[in-house]
Amino acid sequence: MFARLSDGFGDIRCRVRMVDARDGATVLETAERVLSFRDRRQTLYANLRLANLTWSGPGEFVVELYCDGEFVDDATLSVFQ
């Protein structure tokens, strides 16, 4: 997952969570990764790798980004068979 983050300061801990849109079940959750802002004008571009994914079949999934325990953004992922 690619994320563009701005207006931060200092170290932030980020993690990604993927849920099944049908029932909200967690499909994947990454370990936290520390990103560092040197100053508030800096923009960070982060590539947060999602590994070991298995799909039970087609469906809609929501990929969520959390930083310092707070929800930041999400995107929908459609899996086709």
CB within 8 Å of 6: residues ≥ 6 apart: 42, 43, 44
Cα–Cα distance measured from residue 5 to residue 17, given in angstroms and rounded to the nearest whole number: 17
Q: Residue 43 is part of which domain span?
A: 2-79
Cα–Cα distance measured from residue 8 to residue 68, given in angstroms and rounded to the nearest whole number: 11
CATH number at residue 10: 2.60.40
Q: What pLDDT does residue 72 have?
A: 95
pLDDT tens digits, one per residue of 15-69: 999 999 999 999 899 999 999 999 999 999 998 888 878 777 899 999 999 999 9
CB within 8 Å of 28: residues ≥ 6 apart: 16, 17, 18, 50, 52, 53
Token look-up 């508030």 returns 40
Q: What pLDDT does residue 54 have?
A: 79
- The total of structural domains in the chain comes to 1
